[in-house]
Amino acid sequence: MSTTSLATSPSVGVADEVTAVYRDGIVGHKGAFSREWAEQLREDMMTAFWSAIQRPRGTMNRGRRRWYVEVHPEQISGFVDLVTHPWITAMSEAILGADYRFVEIGFDVPFQGARDQPWHRDFASPKDTYQDHRITSLAFNLTGVDVTPDMGPFEIAHGTQWDDGRTWKHQMFPDKDVYPRFAERAVRKFPQMGDVSCRTALTVHRGTAHASPIARPVLILGVVEGRIANPEEHDLEITRTFEATLPQAARDRLLYRAVDELQPITQRHDIEALMMGDA
């Protein structure tokens, strides 16, 4: 973990966006990056996918024809652009405090034939959230394509980040008898290349059925409050060569370990409940 002094985040007004995250669980920022930058991001993600799926446990199954791949920062050409982007850093500091840390980077990719996922959140809600209504982690999402209705768009049930969820399966998967409530609150998202969204992964959501022959990779950048950043649970691995090229503003915000040579990432076990879609 970096132990150098924290850099000052750029001054960006995000009060309305912070309010939206607390109200809805998600907010978008249009045109944060150029289309050319997003095209390179898509290429990086798909290159990483085809490499990862060829080795045992290189990908995590997230449902029929849908995978998650965690990557090393160096596999994403624009990684430094991401972790130093004024809107991303301003949102992170406004919601998580000055000591926030980036702890994970990866991507989801559904292909043609992917089904509706069950409604879920990405991990059990901590007491800080279900009791005190305080957000302690965020996920920033960036699409690698212009999302159309046939591309299995991300669907999120606004406001459900405050649901207790302790009686759900694994504290992540609600019973189907409460699905109508999520459907009433559900909004499908159609981001374009270069857009970025900020959300809490505790807001109940799902990927939807994907009919398009075009894959829909979406990058996920995970960030947490400094007080809960735990290298035994999450950290980024970078080479010492890459570390030396990082601007101080980026290095200060990463929870990482430096190594001489990167090793392929072994993904965590598949989540059985996500492999049982509704369709």
The answer to whether residues 25 and 158 touch, using CB atoms and an 8 Å cutoff, is yes
Asked if residue 13 is part of any domain, the answer here is no
Q: What is the pLDDT of residue 272?
A: 62
In this predicted model, what pLDDT tens digit does every residue of 229-250 receive, in sequence order? 988 887 899 999 999 999 999 9
In this predicted model, what pLDDT tens digit does every residue of 19-47 receive, in sequence order? 999 999 999 999 999 999 999 999 999 99
> What CATH code is carried by the domain that includes residue 230?
2.60.120.620
In this predicted model, what pLDDT tens digit does every residue of 56-69 receive, in sequence order? 999 999 889 999 99
Return the closest-CA partner of residue 138 out of 268, 277, 243, 253. Answer: 253
In this predicted model, what pLDDT tens digit does every residue of 155-199 receive, in sequence order? 999 999 999 999 999 999 999 999 999 999 999 999 999 999 999
Return the closest-CA partner of residue 206 out of 102, 276, 136, 137. Answer: 276
Q: What's the chain's length in residues?
A: 279
Asked if residue 117 is part of any domain, the answer here is yes
Q: What is the pLDDT of residue 146?
A: 98
Number of domains in the chain: 1
Asked if residue 7 is part of any domain, the answer here is no
Asked if residue 2 is part of any domain, the answer here is no
Return the closest-CA partner of residue 105 out of 76, 125, 85, 80. Answer: 76
Asked if residue 268 is part of any domain, the answer here is no
Output the CA torsion 109→114→119→121 (10° steps): -20
Asked if residue 270 is part of any domain, the answer here is no
Asked if residue 202 is part of any domain, the answer here is yes
- Distance of alpha carbon 230 from alpha carbon 235, whole angstroms: 7
Asked if residue 6 is part of any domain, the answer here is no
Q: Domain of 173?
A: 29-261
